[in-house]
Amino acid sequence: MNIFDYIFALLTFSWYIFYGLTFINIIPRLYFKNFSFYYEVYVCLLLIAYFNPYADIKLTKIKKQIVFTSALMLLFSIGVNNIVDTISGHADVVKNKTTHKW
């Protein structure tokens, strides 16, 4: 494993911790969004470097983990967070409409 793989493993572990702590409202979502942005950029650059058409790579265990974790990260970052944001936005609209004082 090279240094980029170690950084990936550390960031992935940190991302799971941040996601869990954000999901149960221990830390603000802003911290997770900021961390997640840099993590996503790093993963994208790593995927481009490893899996570009000009590179001849051997698919090792860590590279398989990178691909799998990248897919999970995209699913959770884009999918689940978008669903939670949309539902909470709709709940806020309903709450504001029902608590309006006449």
Per-residue pLDDT of 34-80, as tens digits, reads 888 888 888 888 888 888 888 887 888 888 888 888 887 777 766 77
Name the residue range of residue 37's domain.
3-98
Number of domain units in the chain:
1
Give, as one character, the DSSP assignment of residue 15: H
Angle at 50 (CA atoms; ends 8, 66), nearest 5 degrees: 40
Alpha-carbon gap, residue 36 to 79, rounded angstroms: 14
pLDDT band at 33 (very low <50, low <70, confident <90, very high): confident
Alpha-carbon gap, residue 40 to 78, rounded angstroms: 11
The pLDDT of 10-16, averaged and rounded, is 88
Alpha-carbon gap, residue 26 to 37, rounded angstroms: 19
Residue 12: Cβ within 10 Å count: 19
